[in-house]
Structure 1
Amino acid sequence: MGKDYYDELGLTRSATDIDIKKAYRKLALKYHPDKNETAAASTKFAAVAEAYDVLSNAKNKGFYDLYGEEGLKQGVSDGKGGRRGGFYKFSTSPTLVFDQFFGTNNPYAALSEISESFEAMTATPKLKRGKQKTFDITVSLEDIFYGCIKKVPHTKKILTASGTFETQDRILTLDIKPGCKDGTRFVFDNEGNEAPHTEPGPVIYTLSTQKHPSFKRKGADLVYTAIVPLVKALSGTTLEIKTLDDRILSIPITEIVQQGSNKLIVGEGLPKGDGSKGDMLVVFDLLFPASLSDSQKMLLNAAFFLPPKPTAEQADAVKTFGVAFKDQLKGWSAGYKK
């Protein structure tokens, strides 16, 4: 008596194609050599592979149902001196049958894929995500320095199932921390417009800093442009800079200043998240006179060409000039500011 392929798969002859596939899937995973290393499991794995190979093929299954395993493999008499059947031989390896069925030789990968497919079929369908709405929020540099709370009005539209619109007015609160970076996004989930079968999208506000009359922002650092008259750039001066928190920084400039040169003032920038502060970079922009008289040109030349070691007569001339220049009543330095 030949093999009973239906019995190998735990089925009856009334089994459908779907029943055959389900039975093979279950038994092949159970007896795969990588999961069950016993000799009996290896024998069973090969048996269910052959049974599936026969019963999943319409021609093989039809002949087997009529003449059994012997007729399928060895053939039967046709009553005319010839034979029918005898065309099947299980020449494919059980592992190849498994690979062709699952798309992998790894039983654990096959189990994972089956699990994911089942979850996908049984999971609750995800709602379509609504569009995100993006707005800009611009604040002053002082607000960035101290931190602030901004409340913005927001209107949410709701499309009802009947096709009409309703609106909801609400206030969204933005907690802007000290030193908050440009480009920071404040995300309010589910505050977008609503529609049937649609999950509301987010409303997003993106931070930017307003232009400031004195400073430019560069991350946590501040850039201050100091306009310095040429004479002060050469002879020295003291800069007075009003900070964002209303202090006055007095910065002595004792060396000759070049156009575009800079001076770093540590710790006078914007707050950082770690409790420290950025720096202030003072960039010098020199202010040149629009014109010079012949006397002014002569005096400039006199200053630049003064010898390192003047003679007694030259020293007396400089002293006389200084007295005339600085005289509180008649000297032309009186009242000079720039």
Structure 2
Amino acid sequence: MAEDYYSVLGVPRTAKPDEIQRAYRKLARKYHPDVNREPDAADKFKEIGEAYDTLSNPETKARYDRFGADYRQYAGGGGRSGRSSGRSGPRPGPRPGRGAYGNAHTDMGGDVDWEDLLGGWFRQQARGPAQGADHEAELWLTLEEAVRGGRRTVRLAKPDGKSRDYDVDVPPGVLDGQRIRLAGEGAAGREGGPPGDLSLLVRIQPDTTYRLKGRDIHFDLPVTPSEAALGAKVKVKTPSGPVTITVPEGSSSGRRLRLRGQGMPDPEGQPGNLYAEIRVMVPPRLSSKVRKLYEQLGAISDFHPREGIL
């Protein structure tokens, strides 16, 4: 015995029969060699079966709990014997059948039904129609394409190295990380079985102007000093189309203006908002006339933005 049977199944020594069976079913499903192709899967599966075979039987479990690794040398709970009786050791190996490790109803594991345990995996391996495998690919969209949605034609490389065009209906407001499934566009089925699906993982390209946070869209709104001071109506482009933003008078850089419901659409709920953050900009170079006007403004203005701070 390479390891304590309780440790092999990952259960405490106080585990009840149903806990032992649940642990065994989970591990057996994971390590069955017809499912798990790891090099040590067969040995692990055999070890799991041996542990369950011993602990699932009250007689052998009692001897194991008392004598540990030497439990096979004891029979009837007391006398030492060169051979153990009853279910004192692992059962014989799996009976011949489908696959290298027995058929769907192999005797390994007592009352465990392998057809149920592996969820019909063996049925899928039998000859006959079977659904094709699903394929996955990434679908890159601009923010504007994600906001507006609509039909797009995308060219994707197939597993055989060739390319193919697909018509994709992009729902308005799709978010990064969501998936669009194209039914029947995966691998061909076997022996007349239905094809698999193509799953497109949406990726939204970073944008130099707009920042997407959930379904809210943020961007910087440059305004002139006069627009910030006097207020203005500013027409700007957004991913969903042009809008007019009202800049209140006396707006300083950092002020955030919200346009409710103008962000990313939500087909099933409330759309996001559009947030414009004021950025007061000054010209890098001034003409002599404009310079004089700024000088006059500075001379008569009683505004002190650093009062009480510096």
Which interval holds the TM-score relative to the shorter structure? 0.3 to 0.5
Q: Which structure has greater strand proportion?
A: 1
Larger Rg: 1
Normalised TM-score (structure 1) = 0.44
Q: Which structure has greater helix proportion?
A: 1
